[in-house]
Amino acid sequence: MPNKSTITYFLLIGFSEIPEVQNLYFMAFFLTYLVALIGNLVIITIIVLNHHLHTPMYFFVLNLSVVDLGYISVTIPKAMANALMKTRWIWYSHCVIQLFSFVLFGASEFFLLTVMAYDRYTAICHPLHYETVMNRIACIQMAVFAWILGLLTATLHTGATFASPFCSNVINQFFCEIPQLLKITCSDLYLLEVGAVTLTGCIYFSCFLFILLSYMQIFKAVMRIPSVEGRQKAFSTCLPHIIVLFMFYFFGVFAYFRPINRTPSKMDLVAAVAYCVIPPFLNPLIYTMRNKDIKGALWKLIH
């Protein structure tokens, strides 16, 4: 069997070899990617051009859209190209870059969601101190910190994953995913990545608890708002964030924190699509359909 020193490419066999099925995958990915691309670009354009949206909440939404663009662009275009050209391979170096970029954007998104929870907590629970706490410099520092944490996480996982030699070059997925790469390792060095995943999992779980506690306090504060319109406005800014967060967190945990099983499973493919395709696809729809400010700014931009 080939090892790390001789492997120059990997085979991505997450999807069927039947040409008709590959065409179906291509169309599904193409439409999903097109909606995600247009939706996130529209949100970025609206927030940049509309000065009324230059607030902390929309500053983080802007960063989230940038992350989503990168997050979906490192996996879907290659999968579409393979489906269109009826190929399955990816160069070893490209696999390293894909994994690094995927973890970078994925981790940055989770840390941004954590910061956005703190932003909503401050705005609803401490409105009088909101402008002081969430000032321009503080917002920039939080966003930069989220990106730096994502960069460190990507560096850690990429180094730990590719430190181990591989006994095979066949990946049972449509992109270079860490759990699937660990399945084809042939030395105990894969335990480095297991330790890195465990460490990252503890950090993510702490962030998730922080988010849950923040929203518990938010819901308590919202229920004390006397007007129905005020409660609806507060919920409308929080519910999209909660939906995206739970979907992103649940499927990520399902994919990364299960015991390594060498037997291929269709659930691995379902989980991968759920956490790496659906959030960037749904984020623009959720934030535009349920947000009056975004819809109003979009209407002005169209006119």
Residues with Cβ within 8 Å of residue 187, at least 6 apart in sequence: 164, 165
Residue 223's Cβ-count burial label (10 Å; 0-12, 13-18, 19+) is exposed
Give 140's Cβ-side CA count (13 Å radius).
4
pLDDT in tens, 116-172: 889 988 988 888 888 889 999 999 999 999 999 999 999 999 998 898 888 888 888
Q: Are 225 and 234 in contact (CB under 8 A)?
A: yes
Q: Are 139 and 55 in contact (CB under 8 A)?
A: no
> In the prediction, which pLDDT does 265 show?
67
> In the prediction, which pLDDT does 2 show?
46
Collect contacts of 269-276 with beta carbons under 8 A, ≥24 apart. Answer: 269/14, 269/15, 269/173, 269/174, 272/14, 272/173, 272/174, 272/175, 272/177, 274/247, 275/247, 275/248, 275/251, 276/71, 276/72, 276/75, 276/102, 276/106, 276/175
pLDDT in tens, 91-124: 999 999 999 999 999 999 889 989 988 998 898 8
- What is the CB neighbour count within 10 angstroms for residue 5? 7
Q: Are 268 and 67 in contact (CB under 8 A)?
A: no
Q: Indicate the DSSP class of residue 89.
A: E
> In the prediction, which pLDDT does 289 show?
62
To 10 degrees, what angle do helices 228-256 and 266-276 make?
140
**Which secondary structure element, helix H or strand E, spans residue 170, and what is its range?**
strand 170-171
> In the prediction, which pLDDT does 1 show?
43
> In the prediction, which pLDDT does 152 show?
95
Q: Tell me which residues of the chain have a pLDDT lower than 70.
A: 1-5, 16-19, 230, 233-237, 240-241, 255, 258-265, 287-291
Residue 274's Cβ-count burial label (10 Å; 0-12, 13-18, 19+) is middle
> In the prediction, which pLDDT does 68 show?
92
> In the prediction, which pLDDT does 51 show?
84
Closest by CA to 183, choosing from 21, 8, 14, is 14
> In the prediction, which pLDDT does 100 show?
96
Name the pTM for this structure: 0.87
Ranges of each domain in the chain:
9-302
Q: Are 117 and 215 in contact (CB under 8 A)?
A: yes
Q: Strand, coil or helix: what is 262?
A: coil
**Which secondary structure element, helix H or strand E, spans residue 281, and what is its range?**
helix 278-289
> In the prediction, which pLDDT does 72 show?
92
State the distance between the two ends of the chain, measured CA to CA, in whole angstroms: 62
| CATH architecture of the domain with residue range 9-302 | Up-down Bundle (1.20)
